[in-house]
């Protein structure tokens, strides 16, 4: 009889764990058991496969829902005293299955995974024929995501240069041919760290700038930080607090065409002075008595 695989236990997380918690646990375990850190250690290699399999399921919302339904029914079956054999077949036929080269599926996925999520073979040389079972998180800053970079990976005793294109976002996949165990492909899953200066929405960036109340009234300029250095933003007279300005082409580059960029949206904060001189207070008091 086939054994049930507890993917949550494999990653050491609760069943209600968030995506971020699952990703954090996976990253830690994948680094610990990566074959490059444990050469010729078969137990570590098997553990690495198991961790990747668990993450492939729990990081995919559709697969996770399907797996959770199975887990709930399996627990109920056990509480009833496990009468007869558990009917695994009713949970097979996951929509679309998992694309993988049939010659490699024995090395990548367990019987449990293949039964529940299915394996869809394709002709060698097709664009989906490479195995997708090995994944590794790659954390980068927003600045690096803006410019792109090259990273060097140690793989099977050799160094591989990997280009991370400008414009990648969290969840982007970068394929590294032959960098996984047994010469299989490795997929780097990009995780772009939050940046306190900007909020990213697609290829657009959102930020804030602060000006004095006098600049808002009389007009002037505001310093705005972008990922390509500071720029001056023209502030028209009479600008209102929380007014938003758009700087065209100052956002993130499109990953497929770095010459095209999103926009930068700047929300203006107006700073009210806490302390005024006697003269400033007198003038402002006089101005407040005037009708607009």
Cα separation, 254 vs 288, in Å, equals 49
Number of H helices and E strands in the chain, helices first, is: 9, 13
Report if pTM > 0.75: no
pLDDT on residue 96: 43
- Residue 122: pLDDT band (50, 70, 90) is very low
Cα separation, 36 vs 23, in Å, equals 20
pLDDT on residue 97: 40
Express each pLDDT in 67-83 by its tens digit: 888 766 556 545 555 44
Higher pLDDT, 163 or 5: 163
Q: What residues contact residue 289 under an 8 Å CB cut-off, 6+ apart?
A: none
- DSSP, collapsed to helix, strand or coil, labels residue 132 as coil
Residue with tokens 């005037």: 290
Higher pLDDT, 181 or 187: 187
pLDDT on residue 185: 81
pLDDT on residue 266: 98
Cα separation, 47 vs 33, in Å, equals 7
Cα separation, 185 vs 150, in Å, equals 18
């Amino acid at each position: 009889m086939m054994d049930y695989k507890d993917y949550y236990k494999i990653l050491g997380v609760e069943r209600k764990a968030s995506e971020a918690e699952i990703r954090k646990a996976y990253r830690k375990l994948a680094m610990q058991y990566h074959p490059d850190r444990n050469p010729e250690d078969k137990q570590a290699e098997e553990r690495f496969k198991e961790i990747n399999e668990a993450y492939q399921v729990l990081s995919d919302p559709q697969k996770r829902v399907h797996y959770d339904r199975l887990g709930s029914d399996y627990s109920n079956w056990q509480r009833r005293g496990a009468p007869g054999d558990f009917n695994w077949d009713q949970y097979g036929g996951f929509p679309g299955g998992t694309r993988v080269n049939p010659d490699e599926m024995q090395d990548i996925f367990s019987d449990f995974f293949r039964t529940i999520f299915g394996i869809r073979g394709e002709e060698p040389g097709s664009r989906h024929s490479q195995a997708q079972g090995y994944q590794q998180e790659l954390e980068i800053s927003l600045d690096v995501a803006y410019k792109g970079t090259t990273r060097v990976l140690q793989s099977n005793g050799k160094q591989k240069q990997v280009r991370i294109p400008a414009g990648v976002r969290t969840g982007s996949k970068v394929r590294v041919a032959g960098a996984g165990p047994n010469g299989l492909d490795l997929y780097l899953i990009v995780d772009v760290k939050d940046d306190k200066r900007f909020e990213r929405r697609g290829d657009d960036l959102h930020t804030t700038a602060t000006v004095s109340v006098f600049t808002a009234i009389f007009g002037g300029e505001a310093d705005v930080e972008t990922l390509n250095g500071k720029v001056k933003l023209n502030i028209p007279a009479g600008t209102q607090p929380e007014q938003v300005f758009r700087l065209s082409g100052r956002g993130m580059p499109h990953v497929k065409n770095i010459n095209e960029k999103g926009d930068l949206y700047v929300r203006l904060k107006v700073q009210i002075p806490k302390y005024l001189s006697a003269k400033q207070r007198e003038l402002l008091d006089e101005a407040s008595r005037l009708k607009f």
